[in-house]
Chains A and B, each alone.
Chain A
């Protein structure tokens, strides 16, 4: 099923929760944050769609648009097709539902997005930092992240001697 047909199918079922079909190199379907679990459950369980795997979940910070985008690259091993979903959440309150109940790979992938971009996934079973230390302040993949000058009293700056 190609992206345009999938977009129509989803729009017919979920109405306004499905946004535009972003054209581009790889067409992506925009989904409202509140609807993401319903859409994903449908994509996974509908026999004609069968997206059994969340291949990749990424977060991207777009300060100019005041939003953080969470991108879902789905694949169906059974039906050998793929699709892309994009969800925008506001930068000042980046909260959205977790899809960890749909695909368990999201447990770790969402932890990483929480860690590096600060998106809070509601309903996540174990939302804590994964790559950075627990006491780290801030989310480094945000564009306005300022590198700390020290960590526990250890300076992160080393002036060149030359």
Chain B
């Protein structure tokens, strides 16, 4: 069965012996977005299989959690997914708060939503920008990164860091919104929102771009669910599920926003283009959420009273946050001591990588780059 691949008959002059070729791609490769390796078995330009080899970035973050305690683990969560560190912060804060039964002040929840949505836009910009670069269009990358820099500036004003934020705390956030920060964030949205359409004009519907992405690596809704794809990769296959909407947390129920899904507008539902387009459309929705959140930040404190010796009662809890790469699962077991008994982080990149072996069969070798980019893989998130 061809999974949206090309029906390519490799033509060879008669009598020439051919054999399958094993190629190594990575672990250091510009388009693997981190350290990630594929072992490709190819028949000419057509892949028989592409087996991902992961683990190069395994830093045993889950084991570290058992050693450093609840408060001490927060900076490590930044390193789980450094492209979208805010939702990782939030996942860890939420699972700890759930174990200990801590109520987060409303102002802190607004700060979290604002930080996470800005981070989501930054992450999606990197994703759609590098997608263009991966398949040969350099300029869109610079446009995306230019806007991402403004978000980094905003987040730096907010918490002092541009990548690994360590912004959230169990019980709230570390810093209140700085003075005059909200108007600056609104000014950014005013500037950025029209640029999304400019971006579409610049690259999204470019003929070469569309032909590299449309009908490539089509994933049906059933396959996406079976392999536990999450976030834009799941929604690209037409499954309308967003943790912010369907299992709401924080103050997300207070905001109006839509959940974009793949429509197969230039090809088939669930192809690389749909996954790309979902991210473009999600940036618009994040802008909508941000406008509502920035306009309605309530007064109050940004951090609940949480003991320095944080000992949640024995038990286990599982929370889901909608990271830029989708439903991120945080499972934490407490034994009543200062140190978590076990922390498990189930990330979107991990499950997305697991389907590559299946979808790559029958694709052209060059399409592997498009597939990896369309999944928005962040290698450290796979390996943790």
Contacts and interface: CB of A to CB of B under 8 A. Distances in A.
Contacts of A129: 55
A20 interface: no
A103 interface: yes
A77 to B, nearest CB: 5
Contacts of A26: 316-318
B228 interface: yes
A93 B98 CA distance: 33
A141 interface: yes
Interface in A108-138: 108-109, 112, 116, 129-133
A107 interface: yes
B94 to A, nearest CB: 13
A25 B317 contact: yes
A25 B329 contact: no
A95 to B, nearest CB: 20
Interface stretch (A7-15, A33-41, A48-56): A48-56
Contacts of B63: 140-141
B350 interface: yes
Contacts of B354: 104-105, 107-108
B225 A77 contact: yes
Given A24-B315, A25-B99, A105-B354, A55 B346 contact: yes
A73 interface: yes
A104 B226 contact: yes
B238 to A, nearest CB: 11
Interface residues of B, number: 36
Interface in B9-29: none
A108 B346 CA distance: 11
Contacts, number: 85
Interface string B325-353: 00101010100000001101010001101
B351 A58 contact: no
Contacts of B341: 60
B336 to A, nearest CB: 12
A32 interface: no
A108 B318 CA distance: 20
A77 B241 contact: yes
A131 B225 contact: no
Interface of B: 54-55, 58, 60, 62-63, 98-99, 225-228, 239, 241, 246-247, 315-318, 320, 327, 329, 331, 333, 341-342, 344, 346, 350-351, 353-354, 358, 383-384
16 contacts: A25-B99, A26-B316, A55-B228, A56-B344, A82-B247, A104-B354, A105-B226, A108-B353, A130-B55, A131-B54, A131-B58, A131-B383, A131-B384, A140-B60, A140-B63, A141-B342
Interface of A: 24-26, 52-58, 60-61, 71, 73, 77, 80, 82, 84, 103-105, 107-109, 112, 116, 129-133, 140-141
| Pairs of residues from A and B, 7 with the lowest C-beta to C-beta distance, nearest first | A105-B228, A58-B344, A108-B354, A131-B55, A56-B329, A56-B346, A131-B58
